[in-house]
């Protein structure tokens, strides 16, 4: 497939020369127009498939960085390259943090340029391979703390990994105070901070070294050692981390914080399946209801959301049906309430499945893993937002997120 290329920059000689070279390349389809920062976003919004975008920083770097970030953050189909005569480490670092996959120093050396373009083209080919060849992301989320999100994420990951054909990576995106390693009694030597630092050189060997291996076979991408390091991880880093893991694992399970920030948003947006965890009390249900409303406003594809009712007990005051009525969604799975088993497993750093294999809760987790696996591999599986949403919804990302931060949504 020919990969479309869009050039962005203000009256740039480097881009004009680049366009001429690209016109001769059989694997790339360069847009005849060099776009200014002002019209770049509108032109890109109309493009549906993967597109390679080269942004020239040489004329007005601040404006170019803003444009690049906007494009990269709002449009998931964009693969970004940046070019500049300024090749100071801080400029290159800033480019990478803005989501650039490659940096081209000016004056441009055509063989290097071609090399970079082909590297990205290969990535695009892998990422757009048939769905069955790609990994799947399951994001476990709750807008209320303490309802069992981490318990669900860890136990589900372990149960999914029991099928040895399914490679599973469990990602702790609770970046400040994650607890996945405690739940599984793991000692991490590397964390997501190291992973992000080395995103450029990810290969099977590096992956093997930077993920902690649990005896179940689950690989864990651990939370940062220090809470303050969370701030060093940017949204684009999370996006690229998940992309890299998708190439290596069949299944990625993500534990998320209850806060709906950019990090959580990427995890929800990229998910093939969202497990929204709630308990059966009024505050939890109210919170779940608000989360569902927020998902809707943020354009998160409704059909990929599944409701998990944790600590379910039969009660004459509240039934499964009444929960479904209140929330307007079906309960996908109800996990029974068994605090002694859950807390004993937690305090030993073991999955519930290993401590009390015969308990109702362990059986329930096996059942959940089965239906999740079925759902992920069925042809009617939910789509990612990218595949399903209209450009108009994607365009609402940034304003909506800003509004969330301001408390307007
Ligand atoms: N089905 C269950 N029955 C009884 N107790 C449970 C069940 N699932 C989880 N728990 C217990 O609930 C508590 C909270 O669980 P967990 O830490 O997974 O919640 P969380 O939503 O991740 O919390 P946080 O907001 O702190 O991250 C733990 O003590 C856990 O053992
Ligand atoms: Mg948790």
Span 296-301, average pLDDT:
83
**How many angstroms does the Cα of residue 145 sit away from the middle of ligand 1?**
9
Closest atom of ligand 1 to 343 CA is 31
Q: Dihedral sign for Cα 252, 255, 258, 263, please.
A: negative
Closest atom of ligand 1 to 337 CA is 3
Which residues, listed in sequence order, are joined to residue 102 by a DSSP beta bridge? 81
Q: Nearest-CA neighbor of 53 among 90, 88, 92, 98?
A: 98
Question: Which whole-number Å values give the CA distances from 324 to 209, 333, 342, in the listed order?
Answer: 44, 12, 25
Q: What gap in Å lies between CA 263 and CA 237, rounded to an integer? A: 9
For residue 345 and ligand 1, the question of a CB distance below 6 A is answered with no
Task: Tell me 32's DSSP state.
Answer: E
| Bigger pLDDT: 345 vs 299 | 345
Structure tokens of 174? 């609770």
For residue 182 and ligand 1, the question of a CB distance below 6 A is answered with no
For residue 150 and ligand 1, the question of a CB distance below 6 A is answered with yes
Question: Which whole-number Å values give the CA distances from 183 to 48, 140, 162, 346, 389, in the listed order?
Answer: 41, 15, 18, 6, 36
Mutate to test the pocket of ligand 1, among 172, 183, 342 (most ligand atoms within 8 A of CB): 342
Question: Which whole-number Å values give the CA distances from 60 to 31, 64, 107, 262, in the listed order?
Answer: 22, 6, 17, 27
pLDDT digits (tens, 9 = 90+) for 149-180: 999 999 999 999 999 889 999 999 999 999 99
pLDDT digits (tens, 9 = 90+) for 83-123: 999 999 999 989 988 888 899 999 999 999 999 998 888 77
pLDDT value of position 128: 66
Q: Which ligand is nearest to the CA of 351?
A: 1
Burial class (CB in 10 A: 0-12, 13-18, 19+), 178: buried
- Around ion ligand 2, which residues have CB less than 5 A away? 149-150
Structure tokens of 25? 């390349």
Mutate to test the pocket of ligand 1, among 180, 254, 277, 339 (most ligand atoms within 8 A of CB): 339
Q: Is the pLDDT of residue 393 over 80?
A: no
**How many angstroms does the Cα of residue 332 sit away from the middle of ligand 1?**
18
**How many angstroms does the Cα of residue 144 sit away from the middle of ligand 2?**
10
**How many angstroms does the Cα of residue 150 sit away from the middle of ligand 1?**
7
Closest atom of ligand 1 to 336 CA is 1
Confidence of residue 337 (pLDDT cuts 50, 70, 90): very high
Strands 51-56 and 3-8: parallel
CB atoms within 10 A of CB 299: 19
For the chain, which domains are there?
Answer: 3-127 (3.40.50.2300), 133-406 (3.40.50.300)
Whether the ω angle into residue 107 lies within 30 degrees of 0, i.e. cis, is yes
pLDDT value of position 380: 44
Closest atom of ligand 1 to 312 CA is 1
Residue 250 near residue 114 (C-beta atoms within 8 A):
no
Q: What gap in Å lies between CA 263 and CA 335, rounded to an integer? A: 27
Average pLDDT taken over every residue of the chain = 87
Q: What gap in Å lies between CA 165 and CA 182, rounded to an integer? A: 26
DSSP for 373-390, please give it: HHHHHSTTPPPPHHHH--
pLDDT digits (tens, 9 = 90+) for 63-78: 999 999 888 878 878 8
């Amino acid at each position: 497939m020919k990969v479309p290329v869009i050039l962005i920059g203000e009256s740039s000689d480097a881009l004009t020369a680049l366009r001429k070279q690209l016109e001769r390349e059989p694997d790339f389809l360069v847009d005849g127009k060099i776009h200014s920062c002002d019209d770049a976003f509108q032109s890109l919004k109309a493009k549906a498939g993967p597109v390679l975008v080269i942004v020239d920083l040489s004329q007005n770097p601040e404006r170019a960085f803003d444009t690049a970030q906007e494009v990269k953050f709002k449009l998931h189909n964009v693969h970004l390259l940046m070019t500049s005569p300024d090749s100071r480490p801080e400029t290159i670092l800033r480019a990478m943090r803005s989501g650039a996959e490659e940096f081209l120093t000016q004056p441009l050396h055509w063989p290097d340029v071609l090399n970079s373009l082909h590297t990205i083209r290969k990535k695009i080919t892998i990422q757009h391979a048939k769905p069955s060849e790609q990994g799947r992301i399951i994001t476990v989320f709750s807008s209320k703390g303490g309802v069992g999100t981490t318990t669900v994420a860890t136990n589900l990951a372990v149960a999914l990994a029991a099928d040895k054909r399914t490679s599973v990576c469990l990602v702790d995106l609770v970046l400040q105070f994650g607890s996945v390693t405690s739940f599984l009694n793991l000692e991490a030597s590397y964390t997501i901070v190291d992973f992000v630092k080395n995103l450029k050189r990810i290969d099977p060997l590096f992956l093997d070294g930077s993920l902690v291996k649990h005896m179940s076979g689950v690989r864990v991408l651990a939370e940062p050692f220090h809470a303050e390091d969370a701030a060093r991880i940017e949204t684009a880093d999370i996006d690229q981390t998940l992309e890299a893991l998708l190439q290596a694992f069949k299944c990625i399970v993500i534990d998320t914080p209850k806060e709906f920030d950019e990090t959580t948003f990427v995890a929800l947006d990229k998910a093939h399946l969202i497990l929204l965890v709630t308990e059966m009390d009024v505050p939890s249900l109210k919170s779940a209801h608000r989360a569902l409303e927020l998902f809707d406003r943020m354009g998160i594809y409704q059909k990929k959301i599944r409701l998990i009712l944790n600590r379910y007990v039969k009660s004459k005051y509240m039934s499964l049906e009444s929960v479904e009525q209140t929330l307007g969604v079906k309960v996908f799975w109800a996990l029974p309430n068994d605090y002694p088993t859950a807390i004993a497993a937690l305090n030993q750093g073991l999955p519930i499945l290993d401590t009390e294999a015969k308990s109702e809760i362990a059986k329930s987790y096996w059942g959940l893993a089965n239906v999740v696996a079925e759902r992920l591999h069925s042809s009617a599986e939910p789509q990612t937002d990218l595949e399903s949403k209209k450009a108009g919804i994607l365009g609402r990302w940034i304003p909506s997120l800003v509004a969330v931060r301001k408390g307007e949504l």
